[in-house]
Structure 1
Amino acid sequence: MEPVAVRAWTATTAMGTGAAAQLAGLRSGRTGLRPNDFGPLVDGAPLPCWIGRVEGLEDAPLPAHLAHWECRNNRLAWMALQADGLAGEIEAATRRHGAARVAIVVGTSTSAIGATEEAYTRLEPGPDGTPSFPPDLARRAVHTVHALGAFVQEATGLQGPCMTVATACSSSAKVFAQGARLLHAGLADAVLVGGVDTLCGSVLYGFNSLQLVARERCRPFDAERNGLSLGEAGGFALLERARPGDDSLKLRGYGESSDAHHMSHPHPEGAGARLAMRDALARAGIDAADLDYLNLHGTATPANDRVEAAAVAAMFPGTVHASSTKAWTGHTLGAAGIVESVVALLALREGFLPGTLGCDTPDPACGPQVRTEAANTRIDFAMNNSFGFGGNNCSLVFGR
């Protein structure tokens, strides 16, 4: 495919705000995870697990002109929009193309459901006596999946097509594919893509009900791994058509699949994962041997890591450096794609390839591609995988 220039990019996670904080955490081996101190409480205590919580959200209300969008998810979106000079890049793109020619495609898994949970815990009698949301949470637009996209549109003033993708954990990887299609179809001249997901009771207790949450910090690809650690994150990237001689980092290819094997379990042979990776390489015009770094979905659940490692071993030579970064950030669900795209872009820009934190005893069933130690080397191509519930998969290839 025609490469797409990535003009600006940022991520905010439990490791801190902005790309520099992500790089510093990855280099130091310092996890952003902590013992769960996020509600709701059950029997007087939070769910016993580790989480990736973003500092400062409780003390960072939205600006007054955006207060009608107030919720934790939109607070994090606003925080991420202010980092790494992104706001200035958005303004510059608006001057170049006009606000109506800059699109928005964002991904989320649960959107502002935390606000909806709070509203149900604070029901009040309505005018006719039936239970109703309290006045401060009776804001219909917030209680939708598209709350994120609509908020970002108002916060940025962009007027192009605006979409919210909700395909579970592949959501904010798929936004890059959708953004590229909008550009290639001539429906936009620039696209702001990204994703935001925040912690809430539905996430913590929903995943716990599936017996997927580890009591200790997650250990991707470790022989004794027993579940994931949940996190929250937000991030964005600004895409434009590449110009001749453009030295920006590029989105070189994408692959998407929906194998629909099971609602929550991956296909046992990783059929959809392989298809997504293969299509991403094909669109990028490269062979598997040309890939330098692969950021794995690597959630640390026994089945997910086993299936993904087998798919990677079947497709790539042992020279590929593959790792999971979820023990730094937690699994950020609908924001995982944008966070790990930023990691891939950092690997290209900095020549730093992260290892796999928490993998102290590598699972012998995993191939030689999965690395526990970091490496420093110039690379030309990096891929990241994001695989969601229902077999909804997306792989992205970035390059010079």
Structure 2
Amino acid sequence: MTEMIDPAHPAVGIQFAVGLCAAGATAEQLQYSLTQLPHSLTLKSGFIPERKVWVGAYNHALTEEVPRQLESVDSRHLRFALTALQMMEQDIRSYVAGFDSARLAVVLGTSTSGIADNEPRLQQYFQGQQGIAIDQKKQEMGYLAKAVQQYLGWRGPAYTISTACSSAAKAFAAGQRLINAGLADVVLVGGVDTLCQLTLNGFNSLESLSQDICQPCGQQRDGINIGEAAGLFLLSKRQAPVLLMSAGESMDAWHISAPHPEGRGAAQAMQMALQQAGLRPEQMGYLNLHGTATPQNDAMEIKAVRSVFQGYDIPLSSTKHQTGHCLGAAGAIEAYICSRVLQDQCWLPLHHSGVLDAELDDLNYVVSADLTQPIHYTMSNSFAFGGSNISLIFGTALK
């Protein structure tokens, strides 16, 4: 059957992609981590004064070289971004060689920026030490996209999106719009977030951090594990093995930090993504849940899934027990997972193995990593503070 694609939102091709997180530094490592039961998280001290905390730390090497023109914004955050970028830099430069540099855009998401590099100095300042200099540039939200643009030598639009946990997913939506509006020919999208004391202590004050490895939709779920990630994707109109089909967005603005209890905004985002892609719910082969493991988020998301899929037993899982909740980069690393699933066609990410909440256990959580038949479409959910919701759909081909 030929599906009708919304002409205002045609699919765009993912030409190249890289995803780095606690689960791995390569696609093979990521697949291994997401298809095995042992977790990838690390118990670390130094983030919260009174205790150690489980985090999704990226424990692999980062680039040691930062161009001179970027030294003023040098940070672990920038080096994480450049590490991911350099893994596909040669391919990107070859691909865009025939394009006008003014038509090459960068849209990235983040929530932490480079604040971790300033935190030791901020602590010294608040302890009363004199002559402490704080380099504000390192933690400005907008610097990330501009720095990457400067590194690449591009001259098109470049901006950073910061909408908490939906930031990176919204970069995909923005990139697709720039291309379809004729404002750019190629867009580098994705997100980068690094671990810092600010977010860990903030979520701790909300009593939202798990005491152990998080269990999305689990009977004993008690909160999140924060992680870090860098996920970058090159989008263009050209055909590619994996396509960004659509991005459905909504804003329910129910509460500053809590989602709408019935999942209305979440359901609307999923429905809009399906509508824009011209697809039916039963065509989705896999759903990557936002699945943070907080009581309210999981309960509302499962209600939303039930209302959208209405009896279709879609395979689904949350991968945050392996990656941590990567906040502003969560949408990027989970998009990378969905794209790899489509490209590899042999595996699905396992849901955690803990006991599920009896009120949420009626869905088709992935308990076997083996993909027994080809799938053509995957969906990834990202929901943020303030009711900022987005669902992305990826596909192997226009049907």
Q: What secondary structure, in the 3-state scheme, does the structure 2 residue paired with 1:226 have?
A: coil
Write the deviation string for residues 333-374 of structure 1: whole angstroms up to 9, x where unpaired: 0000000001100111112111212x4212221232333332
Query: Which of 67, 74, 79 is residue 70 of structure 1 equivalent to?
Result: 74
Amino acid aligned to 2:30: Q
Query: Which of 126, 139, 142 is residue 138 of structure 2 equivalent to?
Result: 142
Does the C-alpha gap of structure 1 residues 130 and 374 become closer, same or farther in structure 2, counting only changes over 3 Å? closer
Does the C-alpha gap of structure 1 residues 200 and 247 become closer, same or farther in structure 2, counting only changes over 3 Å? closer
Q: What secondary structure, in the 3-state scheme, does the structure 2 residue paired with 1:251 have?
A: strand
1:78 to partner: Cα distance: 1.2
Counterparts of 1:45-124 in structure 2, within 5 Å, are 47-56=51-60, 60-65=63-68, 66-83=70-87, 86-123=88-125
Query: Which of 357, 365, 368 is residue 359 of structure 2 equivalent to?
Result: 365
Does the C-alpha gap of structure 1 residues 48 and 319 become closer, same or farther in structure 2, counting only changes over 3 Å? same
Q: Retained in 2: the 8 A contact 1:337–1:386?
A: yes
Structure 2 CA distance for aligned equivalents of residues 54 and 130 of structure 1: 32
Partner of 2:17: 9
Partner of 1:296: 289
Amino acid aligned to 1:315: V
Amino acid aligned to 1:353: L
Structure 2 CA distance for aligned equivalents of residues 55 and 98 of structure 1: 37
Amino acid aligned to 2:366: R
Write the deviation string for residues 194-253 of structure 1: whole angstroms up to 9, x where unpaired: 1000111111110000000011111111111111111111110000013xxx34211111
1:63 to partner: Cα distance: 2.6
Q: Retained in 1: the 8 A contact 2:348–2:366?
A: no
1:131 to partner: Cα distance: 5.3
- Unaligned runs of 5+ residues in structure 2 are 1-8
- Unaligned runs of 5+ residues in structure 1 are none
Answer yes or no: is 1:343 the counterpart of 2:310. Answer: no
Structure 1 CA distance for aligned equivalents of residues 240 and 162 of structure 2: 32
Structure 2 CA distance for aligned equivalents of residues 40 and 383 of structure 1: 33
Counterparts of 1:201-350 in structure 2, within 5 Å, are 201-242=197-238, 246-316=239-309, 317-350=311-344
Partner of 2:27: 19
Write the deviation string for residues 263-310 of structure 1: whole angstroms up to 9, x where unpaired: 111101111101100000001100111111000000111111111011
Q: Retained in 1: the 8 A contact 2:58–2:229?
A: yes
Partner of 2:6: none
TM-score (norm 1): 0.91
Amino acid aligned to 1:213: L
Structure 2 CA distance for aligned equivalents of residues 214 and 49 of structure 1: 8
Q: What secondary structure, in the 3-state scheme, does the structure 2 residue paired with 1:193 have?
A: strand
* Sequence identity percentage: 38
Q: What secondary structure, in the 3-state scheme, does the structure 2 residue paired with 1:177 have?
A: helix
Q: Retained in 1: the 8 A contact 2:168–2:331?
A: yes
Q: What secondary structure, in the 3-state scheme, does the structure 1 residue paired with 2:97 have?
A: helix
Amino acid aligned to 1:149: A
Does the C-alpha gap of structure 1 residues 30 and 102 become closer, same or farther in structure 2, counting only changes over 3 Å? farther
Does the C-alpha gap of structure 1 residues 73 and 247 become closer, same or farther in structure 2, counting only changes over 3 Å? closer
Answer yes or no: is 1:29 the counterpart of 2:37. Answer: yes
Mean Cα displacement is larger for which, 346-355 or 100-109? Answer: 346-355
Does the C-alpha gap of structure 1 residues 390 and 131 become closer, same or farther in structure 2, counting only changes over 3 Å? farther
Q: Retained in 1: the 8 A contact 2:41–2:324?
A: yes
Q: Retained in 2: the 8 A contact 1:62–1:78?
A: no
Partner of 2:4: none
1:64 to partner: Cα distance: 4.8
Write the deviation string for residues 304-338 of structure 1: whole angstroms up to 9, x where unpaired: 11110111012113421011000011000000000
1:60 to partner: Cα distance: 4.5
Does the C-alpha gap of structure 1 residues 375 and 305 become closer, same or farther in structure 2, counting only changes over 3 Å? farther
Structure 2 CA distance for aligned equivalents of residues 112 and 250 of structure 1: 31
Q: Retained in 1: the 8 A contact 2:342–2:378?
A: yes
Write the deviation string for residues 174-211 of structure 1: whole angstroms up to 9, x where unpaired: 11110010001111000000100011111111000000
Answer yes or no: is 1:356 the counterpart of 2:351. Answer: yes
1:119 to partner: Cα distance: 2.9
Does the C-alpha gap of structure 1 residues 90 and 153 become closer, same or farther in structure 2, counting only changes over 3 Å? same
Partner of 1:152: 148
- Let me know the Cα RMSD of the aligned residues: 2.0
Answer yes or no: is 1:193 the counterpart of 2:200. Answer: no
1:68 to partner: Cα distance: 2.5
